[in-house]
Structures are given as C-alpha cells and as structure tokens.
Amino acid sequence: MTGFSAEWLALREPVDHASVDARLREKVAGLFASRDVLRLTDLGSGSGSSLRGLAPHLPDRQVWRLVDYDRALLDHARGALSEWADEVIDAGAELQLRRGHKHITVGFLQADLSQGVAASVTADADIVTSAAFFDLVSEPWIARFTEALRARALPLYAMLTYNGQETWSPPHAADATMLAAFHADQHRDKGSGPAAGPEAAGLLAANLLSRGFELYEAESPWRLGATEARLTEALAEGSASAVAATGAVPHEDVENWRVARRSAENCIIGHRDLLALPGV
C-alpha cells in the first residue's frame, strides 16, 4: 500500500482543482457535451476529488465508478461526496447524488490495480480518468494498461501526473541533492515493478502514441504561495521523511532542508495533464 491519508488528499484538493489545465478540461467537456449520460471510471480515486472537480463540466447525468485499493479512502469518498452533494437521493451500495443540475450515480470498487486492469474496471466506461496516479505504477504496467485502453477504444484523461520539476524559493543548498534522492525513492516498487515516478507523464504519452492515440497535453503545475502554506509545509515534511528513510542524504542535511522548506515562500511543483483519444 502507498498509504495516502484523507487529510493529505483534502489539503491538496483545492490546489489540484485550481491547477488542472482549464482548456484541456473544456476539451473533455466538449467531447461529451451531447451525451445524455456519461460513464466514467476513475483510477486511484482517493476521496473522490476527480469527481468533484470534473462533474460540474460534464453532462447532467453521470455514472462514476471510483476504483481504489484503500478501503478507508473509498469509505471516506462516500462521506465526502454525500457532504458535497445538495441531495443524497439513495445511499445504497451505489450513491445517487444531486448537485445543482447534475444527477450523479457513484459506484465504489476496491481493487489493487497493480495486479492488472480487470475488465470490470473499464467495463461500460465512456472514458477513464485519473489524477496523481500514474507515477505510482511501473512502465510495464503502463504498457499493459494502454494496450487495454486501445483494445476497448477508450479515451483517457489523466490529470496532474507529477513530472519531476520542482522550484523552491528562496533556493537552498541541498535542493538538488534532496530532489535527486526523492526521485530515486519515487521509483520504489509499489506492487507492479519499479514505479515510473517523475518519468510517468513521458512514459504514458509515449505508450499511447505508439498505440495510435491522438494526444493533447498541458502543464498543470501547483503554484504554492502564502495562501497554500499548509500544503507547502506538508509537502516539505513528506519529501524530507521519504528522503530520510532512504539514508541517501546525511541526516543533518535532510533536517536543515526540512526546516527551511517547511516555511518556503513559494514553490512550483510540476505536473502534466493528458487527454488521449483512441485512433479510428
């Protein structure tokens, strides 16, 4: 398990929603504007952030399948979505929600995606979505996944894939060493082989292109300043702890960096959004 906490996901959600490239999102909206019902499968759904961010831009009737291996996060998603909705019409195994004009059915699937993309994951979907997920899986997994998309002619909208670019201000002497150690740690195997980490966005694009998909890409960096100080602090803590656990950087350097970065004035964390449409 990668162990993402609901608190961390809640902290990043408003920044994620503000960072997603609006033009690419509008392109997704335009593709499906004439649909009566749109069916989406969201991979690594966490607390349901993708649904809350995208639903206002999509047709009035939506059916979402949220897939995650973390039972606690799926349960958290149920609660968070029920609070977000104006009305919970039916809280059976599937949630039936109304938010403004949107009528949204939400199904929850607990599945370890590293073990394969079972047909049930993508069955009936018109599009597969994800946010901040592909850095966790391996290159062979990405190859098998994109092949499954090709076989079913399914579009993919992958938001906020970490691309390894970080700029912290003011600069710190240990920035480059810490980033290199953090990236090395990101390649740790999370179940499907060495994880793609900061190479994920490039690997995803190359695999989709080689399978005939048409790609649209855009940068979607976090730009964190004074308003996002809590997220900056949590990010610095997370990166420093990950590096400390590797033992690759002297303890004193990690701690100096941790203290300086917890109160960084601002930082930019690079992400990439990608929309892939199957070839005809």
Ligand X SMILES: C[S@@+](CC[C@H](N)C(=O)[O-])C[C@H]1O[C@@H](n2cnc3c(N)ncnc32)[C@H](O)[C@@H]1O
* Contacts to ligand X by CB under 6 A: 2, 4, 9, 16, 44-46, 49-50, 68-70, 73, 112-114, 131-133, 136, 190-191
Q: Cβ of residue 196: shortest distance to ligand X, in angstroms? A: 12
Closest by Cα among 28, 91, 88, 95 to 64 = 95
Nearer Cβ to ligand X, position 76 or 258?
76
Minimum CB–partner distance for residue 63 and ligand X (Å):
18
In the bound state with ligand X, the residue whose beta carbon lies nearer, of 44 and 198, is 44
Assign residue 116 a region: left if phi > 0, alpha if psi is -120 to 50, beta otherwise? left
Query: What is the smallest separation between the CB atom of 112 and ligand X, expressed in angstroms?
Result: 5
Q: Give CA–CA dist 41/46, Å, rounded.
A: 13
Nearest residue (CB) to ligand X, 44 versus 197: 44
DSSP alpha helix (H) spans, 211-279: 229-246, 251-262
Q: How far is the CB of 275 from ligand X (least distance, A)?
A: 16
| Shortest Cβ 46–ligand X spacing (Å) | 3
- Which residue lies nearer to ligand X by CB, 67 or 154? 67
Identity of the amino acid at 37 = V
Q: Which CB atom, from 29 or from 109, has the smaller least distance to ligand X? A: 109
- Rounded Cα distance between 167 and 268, Å, is 5
Dist CA 34 CA 207 (whole Å): 30
Contact 121, 43 (CB under 8 A): yes
* Structure letter (DSSP) for residue 150: H
Tell me how far, at minimum, the Cβ of 250 lies from ligand X, in Å: 29
Residue (8 or 216) nearer to ligand X, CB: 8
The dihedral sign for the CA sequence 264, 242, 10, 29: positive
